[in-house]
Chain A
């Protein structure tokens, strides 16, 4: 039996996969979630085999139900995103004390002890304010591709305050500003400021010990990164693949379990 383990992070926007072999990461991949989550999971797992899968993300229970029967994927377990992100962030940055993850529909802040144990976490309430969804929505409203939205906002020449955090109301506010002839870049900046402010207050509730690791797709947005750095007075560490941190953490959890088991067998 191979000791290959993989972690799969099924988020609302993307599904991430990390395959860990003897020598470390063998393969990784991220695809959009789409409306048919299970179909995408199957596509992601095409040709992959191992002895243990660990699922995380909002689709983890669905995954467990569908693939939990022993078969090609060996054993299937799940862990929460909170643990997965903490584990993933620590593996990439061994001294990390705080993780900020802004995903498609959730924003989480996780505080860890110097030893890496999760001590507290905060998660946004159900609404999408302050998450990737909000940015996506606003990028569409301003007719800018999502992956260029942050750069676009950085072209602002002034900072205007958008007071609504509700996705629907913020769009109304943005439309009003457009009607008043405000530059689109400035409106985009206002929307980014609104998110950064909201995230900062979440971080404030938990207390932010550096180093802070910023994971999740929104970590690719240069404007959010810049605003957080200004607001927190520290530069967040950004992984090369910020949206694979959860999948990496899940896979590492599986690895740890395996080695615990084999050490038990050795006794």
Chain B
């Protein structure tokens, strides 16, 4: 049984453009963001509209490969492909872009993107610590000034604090919805969970989104109390980790669920990675934003021990029976971390990991199906 409130999330991405139309007409700028490090709170506090642009589909990749090398991660190629083919309405709607210097491929791609639209780059440090935090706070300030001059609006401390509060609330609610999958019978499939959390990139009004999440959580909690499940009984519980996944690049999640498993928690960026990292709602909001984002356990960080502790926590809470570590082809940082993840999950939790390296094409679907089914047979 699928929760009825899920339908409202299905259409969000499609409604977004219509929803922002009046706001754009009233003069609001749209700012395209690419990754979890982007402080969408700052964008909103400047009276602008953040929209997620990360490329998740295969379609624009051939166009991107005319400029970018073929052996680059599909996420980067897809993002760039969308930018140059004019086939992504969200990209078309964006007035400005913001990128962070995360992995090498992405940051070099941003140099090309800068020729397509006005682009602001935030220089991300690759470690946590006081010096890095001070530096990253300074980058937050630079982004704030960029937004102020682009929009002509001043970002006030109170305004920013209010946006932080709203985003924290969204994260708390997402965590509450996800939490329900920790029960024996999950009321939510992994694909549905993905759609719900992905919708946060496409909401014109985060407050309305929070209200939808609240309704969904209430409905799911009622389902769980009544013992109603959104997935087949006996489905193998899988913890997904690795590169971000979304609508268009959900191949592996879909294959897992078609093969009789359920993704009970996704550790990656499109999943839980930063749901429980809340920004401090008092004090200097720029510091709060810098502090929050700097501890995101992305593989571009070094060392990145946070990923393992997050996996530990998710393992305890969601009791997975197996781990799937998904790496997009040529994503060096996640690929290199893979043996570490496998060793850790087996050594500490006795859990097997299936490492999958693939891209957005469907070329290897049947081969992946075999590997996934065989992996599930082993559990």
Q: A residues engaging B (CB < 8 A)?
A: 58, 61, 79-83, 106, 118-121, 123, 125-126
Contacts and interface: CB of A to CB of B under 8 A. Distances in A.
Contacts of B369: 61
B357 A125 contact: yes
Chain B binding site: helix, strand, loop or mixed by DSSP?
helix
Given A118-B378, A119-B378, A126 B373 contact: no
B364 interface: yes
A123 B370 contact: yes
A58 B369 CA distance: 9
B374 interface: yes
Contacts of B378: 118-121
Contact of A82 (B358, B364, B366, B377): B377
A121 B367 contact: no
Contacts of B363: 126
Interface in B359-379: 363-364, 366-367, 369-371, 373-374, 377-378
B367 A106 contact: yes
A213 B77 CA distance: 42
A123 B377 contact: no
A121 B364 contact: no
A146 to B, nearest CB: 23
A80 B373 CA distance: 7
- B interface bracket (residues with beta carbon within 8 Å of A): 10 to 19
A165 to B, nearest CB: 15
B131 to A, nearest CB: 40
A80 B367 CA distance: 10
Interface in B321-379: 357-358, 363-364, 366-367, 369-371, 373-374, 377-378
A126 B377 contact: no
Contact of A80 (B357, B364, B377): B377
Q: Which of A106, A120, A123, A126 has the most CB of B within 10 A?
A: A126
A120 B371 CA distance: 11
A125 B327 CA distance: 13
Given A118-B378, A119-B378, A125-B357, A58 B373 contact: no
Contact of B370 (A58, A118, A120, A125): A58
Nearest to A123: B371
A48 to B, nearest CB: 25
B53 to A, nearest CB: 28
Contacts of B367: 58, 106, 123, 126
A118 B378 CA distance: 7
Nearest to B356: A125
B366 A61 contact: yes
A88 B123 CA distance: 57
Nearest to A118: B378
Given A118-B377, A119-B378, A82 B370 contact: yes
A160 B173 CA distance: 63
A80 B366 contact: no
Contacts of A79: 377
Contacts of A125: 357, 364
Given A61-B369, A118-B374, A125-B357, 15 more contacts: A61-B366, A80-B370, A80-B373, A80-B374, A81-B374, A82-B374, A82-B377, A83-B374, A106-B367, A106-B370, A118-B378, A121-B378, A123-B367, A123-B370, A123-B371
Nearest to A121: B374
A184 to B, nearest CB: 32
B189 to A, nearest CB: 21
A118 B352 CA distance: 13
A80 B374 CA distance: 6
A81 B377 contact: no
